[in-house]
Amino acid sequence: MQVNVYTDGSARGNPDGPGGYGAVIEYIDPKGAKHIREYSAGYKKTTNNRMELMAAIIGLEALTKPCDVNLYSDSQYVIKAFNEHWLDGWIKKGWKRGKNEPVKNVDLWKRLLAAKNNHNVTFIWVKGHAGHPQNERCDVLATTAADGSNLLDDVIEE
């Protein structure tokens, strides 16, 4: 099944302000009907990069069977990690990057890799705030979640 996953993250007062993510999943069933699902949540204290990662994670984790996925994000951080093979280097170096510095957000990178594992994913960058309808929708979902009540704790797992 071919699926498009659109994602965006937001953080107010980045870093360590409230933040949120938004994900939109679109697919066309065998009868030609278009299906759309939306996901979002807000967090008390987080960063923009963590929310960009969460959007991609939630979008992929929502898929219940193996799919061919086009994952669209305006996050160079997420897209380049896969398309420019940053992750391969980080993993090879024990989650270290240049100058032997630890990679940030390892907990979410590992979760994203696990979520991606059952799918054939193509990562596609889209320019943010440039009128791309699904990216704009994800931005609304993410910012609305960040500005909402009942915000979650962003627990960083070691």
pLDDT band (50, 70, 90) for residue 154: very high
The answer to whether residue 154 sits within a structural domain is: no
List the CATH number of the domain containing 10: 3.30.420.10
Q: Which residues pair with 7 in a beta bridge?
A: 23, 73
Does residue 153 belong to any structural domain of this protein? Answer: no
pLDDT of residue 98: 85
Q: Does residue 157 belong to any structural domain of this protein?
A: no
Q: Which domain holds residue 35?
A: 2-146
Q: Is the pLDDT of residue 76 over 90?
A: yes
CA 97 to chain centre: 21
pLDDT at 16: 86
Whether residue 152 lies inside any domain: the answer is no
The count of structural domains within the chain is 1
Q: What is the per-residue pLDDT across 5-63, written as a single tens digit (0 to 9) for each?
A: 999 999 998 888 999 999 999 999 999 999 999 999 999 999 999 999 999 999 999 99
**Has 74 been labeled as part of a binding site?**
yes
Residues serving a catalytic function are 8-9, 52, 74, 129, 139
147 is in an annotated binding site: no
Question: Is residue 52 a known part of a binding site?
Answer: yes
> Between the CA atoms of 84, 88, 93 and 98, what dihedral angle is there, to the nearest 10 degrees?
10
pLDDT digits (tens, 9 = 90+) for 95-137: 999 888 999 999 999 999 999 999 999 999 999 888 889 999 9
Residue 88 lies in a domain: yes
Domain assignment present for 133: yes
Please tell me whether 139 is known to bind a ligand.
yes
Give a yes or no: residue 40 inside a domain: yes
